[in-house]
Each structure stands twice: as C-alpha cells, then as structure tokens.
Structure 1
C-alpha cells in the first residue's frame, strides 16, 4: 500500500508541468520515507516469524522433557506401590516360636553338674544359686500365656549369671540356654535391676559387724579402722556422639567404681556411675559416703579412741590421691621423716592392699567387667552394682575363684587430670592431727 502511494505521488508530480521545484523535492522526500518504512515493516515481519518458530521449538522440547519426567515419576510410584504391597504380604510362618534346644541346661547342668563345675562356670554353688533364685522370684516371675510358656526364673537367673561370669556374647548364651538373643539381653538387665533393688541394701553395708571389722584391721596392724577405699575403672562402650564424655587418661571410655571394703575384702559401700575422666578425689568429695562419714551418721555408735587427748573416730584408709580428713587417713609419703611415720605408711599400705585384692577378685569372678560392657549407657550402673552384690554374696558363702584371675588394677595419683581439687584447711588440719596421733600410737604399740 505504501508503494502504491509513492507511485501515485511521483506520477502526480511528473504530470504537473511547471510545478514549483520545492513541491517536487517534498514529493521525493515522502517517497524515500515511505520506502524506508516498507523495508522496516518487512524486516520486523521476518524477525517475528523467527521468534515464533524458536518459541515453538522450545515449547516442543519442554513438553517432551515434561512428559518424560512425568512418565518416570509414574513408574517410580508404581514400583513403590509394588514394593509396599510385597512388604504387606505375610509369609506363612513355619514356627510361632523358633525351636531351640534346652537339653544342655535341663538335662546336663541341672542333673549332672556337681558344685565344682557350678563354681567354675557360675561362680557359686548350686545351693547358693537356688537361694538367689528364691530371693528374686517375686520380681522375675512371668505368667504363661495362650501363645507361649514363660521362661522359668531359674533359667533367667542362670543365663544372666553365665553372661556376667563368662563375659561372652549374647549369641553364645542364646545357643546354650535355648532362648533368643534379645531375650538374653533383656534377662541380663532385668536380673541386674532386681538384684540392685532386692539385695543391695542387705548385702553392701556395714551392718552390725563394726567390731569384727576393727579387729580384722587391727590384726593387719592398723587400729580403729573400718574400711579401705579406692577406685577402679570399668570399661564401657563409648556413647554414640559423645566419645569423650567418659574418656579417661588411658584413652578408653570407662566409669569409676569407688569401693570401700572391710578386712575380708567385702564391699561395705560402692559408688558407681561417675565418668572415668574424673579424678578419684573428685568422685570421693561428691559421694554420699563422704557426706555420711563427715556427719558421723554412717558408723553405728561412732566409737572414739583417745590418744594423748586426741579423739580418733573410726577411720578409713586410702592412698595419696585422696584428700585428708579427720576420718580419712592417707600415707605421709615423701614427708615421712621419723620412724613412727614410716611405720605408719608401711602398715597403712599393708592394710589398704585388701581393697586392691578385692577389685582383682571382683573382675576375675565377673569377667564382663574386664572388657567393655556391651550394654546401654543407662544400664551400666545396674550391671556393675549387681556384680558388687554378687561378689559379696559369694565371699560371704566362702566360694573361691577358680581358674586364672585378672590382676588387680591400682589407681595411681594423677595431678594433670584437668580438675584442680583443693581440700578445706580445716579438714586438712584435723586429719594431720589424727594421723600424727595414730602414728605415735603405732610406734608405742610396736615398742611394747
């Protein structure tokens, strides 16, 4: 249309003869502008067509990829539904309870084993085992159901004691006693909790034998003593995500067992649960035993002995890692200069050896304490406490340790533990006065 208008203008301009040259120039300019506009319109049409073709191509490709993604999503959903249906399909059970053999326990151990074999495998005689079963029966008895019969209390106690004494895996105990591995784990924890609730207060205490304990330590050379205290590490598995919470200076995870024993090596107090990274003195200062001894309410009657005007309460002996107290005696060590002080250290070391031997017998009798306990963190205290109670039970019945035992572990003094512990000046002064009086009394007793 623009071209036609330009031709008409040129024709009119040429047909007018004698027209003003200015009018002719204007006509030429109009023709040039119309021609340029025509070229621009054609170029725009070509550009628009290319854009439409490119957009169509991109849209086609996107539609193809969208379809492919949708199809793959549908296939994944179908596979998931298929797997879910397969998981919901119940396979026919061959057995409601997997058949296991109990012949070894019922027909060999209970029938043919004598006390020597019972002592070697269960660390106690059959009579002691039966008494223990009867004491724990109210807490461990389970009812039979229409689906299965309950495991007897005798077998539950036997599998727990076997695991504590041998330190073997749950799978080995499962094969021997004919019960599932998870049932073995549950039986061990339930047994330990029952022992802690029923027998701890009856077995681990001073009782009325304070006079006998003092006489026993007096025969060892240390008068007016009611116990020896020390600590030992019990290896445990590092809690998940917190490997350093229970790490000790020996580069493994452990908890501390602080034990106070009498002259025969039986526990009269046990503190369990502190992290192995803590110092012995820190555990001692925060223990219930320390608080009770400070108040004088733990020893029945709290008898005193007077030496040169100094009232000496019932004392407990310890090594150099513990803080001095009026009732807690530790050696002079390098500060010993007189003959009486050196004799005091010698007798204290001889009498304190009973607690180290006690820890050795404890770990030799219950082998689960010699390596990392394979129980959860919140069950460790119950297992260790049960071992302490059973140790006292076996010691009171006179059961020896058969086989090769573990060497006792001595806790050495370590001043670089990261926790600076200070002793109150009053406790230190009172402890030194009592220690000097005892050293003088021992020196006079040896000369007489």
Structure 2
C-alpha cells in the first residue's frame, strides 16, 4: 500500500487483469472455449503487487466467460467484499468517504468500494485526471502478463496437453514467474498458502444490492477523483 501510495494512488494493494491462454478445446465443448477473437482459450486472471509478482491467480475459466464473471467468482473478490483480504482492513477518510484497501482494474470489471476502474467516457478534468493516475499505476499488471508470456513461450501458442494438465501448467508458470522476479529466492512460508482467512458464506446478491454496491464504488471513485484534482482531503 505504501509503495503504490508513492506512485500516486493511495490505499492500493493490488492490480487485477486477465489474459487468454490458447488451448486445444475438449471434444464436444468448442463453443464454450471460443473467445471474442475466435480462438480457443482458458482465462488466467491475475492480481499482482507493486513488485509485479502475482499474489493471486484464478485459473481454468473458458474463453467465452466475461472478465466480470470470472472476477465475481474468484476467491480474492469474495475476500475483498468481506473486508478480510488485507489484515485489519486499514482505511482512511478522503473527501468524506471512508476508503479501505483498493484493487485497480480496467473497465471490464464491476465497480465496488474496493475495486476501482476508470470512468468509461471521461468528460471533466477531474475524471480525466483520475483515469490518468489509475492507468499509470495499473500498467504494472500489464507488464507482469507481458513478462509471463515472454518467459514461458508455451503460453503464446495452444497448449498441446491433456485437459487436466492445463491448469497445473498455468499455475506453475505463474509461480515460476514470481521466483524469477525475486531472482530465484525461495518463497517464504507465508507465500505458500493461498488462503490466509476464512471466507464467510455469501449468497447470490439481488439486483438492488448490486446497484447499491455500484453506488458505493462510484462514491469512492468520485472522492478519489476530487482528491487528485484538489489535493485536499
């Protein structure tokens, strides 16, 4: 959070994005795995930290799935919704809004009070400045995916492996990426386990609840945009 703050965006703990990894589709399921570009793929959703290492990955969703759907069904989304992903859930008050840990995303993702995305069509100087700051910081996750595919060239062509081996290979590539980023140092014990918390039982949300969550997210985004423009908390 401190590192992202020094880059100009306070309260950020991670950056989320996704990429399509090409596969040979299972027999009889081609339509499920075809993506918007007409290729067959599975989705690798990754969340990276300020060092451009992956701190969470969600794997195996078919290429036809929308980024927002993958995100909503991921562990990190549920943990952030519950306010338990970051220990203590530290928050600060900005322009009258209590703002906790944030993850930055692109416009494909749903806005939440903890998930910030750009204004889709920025009209005002405030909105344009917010988008500029968000996109500047979020470039790190795009670089993470770029280096991931440069290192492991198997991710740039269809994976010629059995269906059950696709997810283990993608997970291995993400782990090896992290090891390379830290120059070969062994991961400490705290990094070996994905779940450091117990998720509450969450049911499906109603349309009204979804609208309310979006309003909360937009209120946080507007408060941050005001702060960036004026410099006043």
Give your verdict on TM over 0.5. Answer: yes
Shift of 1:423: 8.2
What is the rounded CA distance, in whole Å, between the counterparts of 2:35 and 2:67 in structure 1? 12
Local SS of the residue matching 1:301: coil
8 Å Cα contact 2:22/2:155 also seen in 1: yes
Matches within 5 A, 1:114-153: none
What is the rounded CA distance, in whole Å, between the counterparts of 2:173 and 2:209 in structure 1? 32
What is the rounded CA distance, in whole Å, between the counterparts of 1:423 and 1:364 in structure 2? 41
8 Å Cα contact 1:323/1:423 also seen in 2: no
What is the rounded CA distance, in whole Å, between the counterparts of 1:371 and 1:264 in structure 2? 27
Q: Which runs of 5+ in 1 are unaligned?
A: 1-213, 400-420
- 1:391 counterpart = 2:177: yes
Corresponding residue number in structure 1 for 2:159: 373
- 1:238 counterpart = 2:20: no
What is the rounded CA distance, in whole Å, between the counterparts of 1:345 and 1:370 in structure 2? 30
What is the rounded CA distance, in whole Å, between the counterparts of 2:169 and 2:208 in structure 1? 33
What is the rounded CA distance, in whole Å, between the counterparts of 2:22 and 2:104 in structure 1? 26
- 1:257 counterpart = 2:44: yes
What is the rounded CA distance, in whole Å, between the counterparts of 2:24 and 2:125 in structure 1? 48
What is the rounded CA distance, in whole Å, between the counterparts of 1:422 and 1:273 in structure 2? 30
Render the CA deviation track for 1:129-178: whole Å, top value 9, x for unaligned. Answer: xxxxxxxxxxxxxxxxxxxxxxxxxxxxxxxxxxxxxxxxxxxxxxxxxx
8 Å Cα contact 2:96/2:223 also seen in 1: no
Aligned-pair RMSD on alpha carbons?
2.0
What is the rounded CA distance, in whole Å, between the counterparts of 2:11 and 2:45 in structure 1? 22
- 1:430 counterpart = 2:227: no
Shift of 1:309: 2.6
Corresponding residue number in structure 2 for 1:359: 145
Shift of 1:425: 0.5
Bigger fraction of residues in strand: 2
What is the rounded CA distance, in whole Å, between the counterparts of 1:422 and 1:239 in structure 2? 38
Render the CA deviation track for 1:25-81: whole Å, top value 9, x for unaligned. Answer: xxxxxxxxxxxxxxxxxxxxxxxxxxxxxxxxxxxxxxxxxxxxxxxxxxxxxxxxx
Return the TM-score normalized by structure 1: 0.45
Match of 2:101 among 310, 314, 325: 314
Matches within 5 A, 1:46-445: 214-334=1-121, 336-397=122-183, 424-445=210-231
| Inter-CA distance 392–422: structure 2 relative to 1 (3 Å threshold) | farther
Higher relative contact order at CA 8 Å, sep ≥6: structure 1 or structure 2?
2
Q: Which runs of 4+ in 1 moved over 4 A?
A: none
Local SS of the residue matching 2:126: helix
Bigger fraction of residues in helix: 1
What is the rounded CA distance, in whole Å, between the counterparts of 2:61 and 2:98 in structure 1? 34
What is the rounded CA distance, in whole Å, between the counterparts of 1:244 and 1:435 in structure 2? 37
Shift of 1:422: 10
Local SS of the residue matching 1:306: strand
Q: Which runs of 5+ in 2 are unaligned?
A: 186-206
| Inter-CA distance 278–345: structure 2 relative to 1 (3 Å threshold) | same
What is the rounded CA distance, in whole Å, between the counterparts of 1:422 and 1:285 in structure 2? 17
What is the rounded CA distance, in whole Å, between the counterparts of 1:319 and 1:293 in structure 2? 17
Render the CA deviation track for 1:334-367: whole Å, top value 9, x for unaligned. Answer: 1x33322211110001111111111000000111
8 Å Cα contact 2:116/2:221 also seen in 1: yes
Larger Rg: 1
What is the rounded CA distance, in whole Å, between the counterparts of 2:5 and 2:27 in structure 1? 48
Shift of 1:296: 0.9
Local SS of the residue matching 1:257: strand
Render the CA deviation track for 1:186-232: whole Å, top value 9, x for unaligned. Answer: xxxxxxxxxxxxxxxxxxxxxxxxxxxx1221222211101111110
8 Å Cα contact 2:94/2:223 also seen in 1: yes
